[in-house]
Structures are given as structure tokens and as C-alpha cells.
Amino acid sequence: MVASLMSDALSSAHQEQLVLRQSKPGLGTTIASLVLTAVCAGGIVRHDAEPVAWLGMIAFGAATAVLLILRFWRPGILVITPAGFRKVGVLGTVAHQWSEVSHFTATSPGYVYPRRLPKQVVFVCPPTAPNSAERERVLGRYGDLKPAQLADLMNRWRNRFR
């Protein structure tokens, strides 16, 4: 399916654009966050370590709200066109021309002890100011594509329309 999506997207790119929705957060993560929020709420109701329970309720409750919004609403959209690509999200839109991007790779964008973050698509942009260096930026995860598949798709579009 992914191979046909890539070939169809490239063959019809002159007439259309490819739109991918942001990937959903994992069900296990969402359930774990809900359970931890419920445990903290139970601590508040039973007056058991109430200050710690309130802190946990605030932290896990906020995380649960974000996870549920991302799971059911999925506000992030990636629009790929022959001119470039556009990331549309809750906080605004970021657009890049193909000439502004050197390449796409699937890699971990960082490290949180004790392990690396899950792989995502990362791209490199040239300096924005005369004295600044190249910057890596995270594209994220979109559609049902694995990070390596999305990086390959983005590189194909970039190579074809650059």
C-alpha cells in the first residue's frame, strides 16, 4: 500500500497535492496516562498524600488532555506539493520550499535518559541568517507511514521538484 501511495503521489503530483494527517499517539500511552490521572484523583478524594496527588493530577491530567486531543482530533496536517511542503498545526503553519531543504532522514531527534526518543523524520535547513549554522528540524510522524517510509517519500518529492 505504501509503495502504491508513493508512486501514485509522484505520478499525479503535477495535478494534485498529497495531504497526510498526523499520526495518533499510542493507545497504551493514552491508557497509562488515564490510569495515572485516575490514581491521582483517587488520592485527592481519599485525602491520601493530597499535595502530591494534586501535583500528579495537574501533570497527568494535562498530559491526558493533550493525548486525547491528539488521538481523536489530530490537528496536524502535512501538505506536500510540487513547490514544497507545509506543516499545519494548532500553533500555526510552517512552509518550506524544496530548495530550502537538503535532505530528509529517519532518526531519533534527541535523547531522554535512559534512552533515545522514537525515530521521526528530520530535515536540514540552510542558515536563516548570515552568521547562523544549518539547523535540523523535526518533521514528525504523519499517516500510517513508518519514519523511514515518510523520509523516502519526502526525498522523492524533493528530488523530483527541486
Give tens-digit pLDDT for 11-37: 444 457 888 888 777 788 888 888 989
> Does pTM top 0.75 for this prediction?
no
What is the reported pLDDT for 151? 92
pLDDT tens-digit profile of 78-128? 999 999 999 888 778 888 899 888 889 998 877 777 888 888 888 887 776
Give the separation between CA 27 and CA 158, rounded to whole angstroms.
33
What is the reported pLDDT for 46? 83
Q: How many domains does the chain have?
A: 2
Residue 108 belongs to what domain range? 2-23+80-161
Look at the block and give the residue holding cell 523511514: 148
* Residue 57, pLDDT above cutoff 80: yes
CA distances from 145 to 63, 148, 159 (A): 25, 8, 19
13 and 90 fall within a common domain: yes
Q: Looking at the DSSP assignment, which residues form a beta bridge with residue 103?
A: none
89 and 148 fall within a common domain: yes
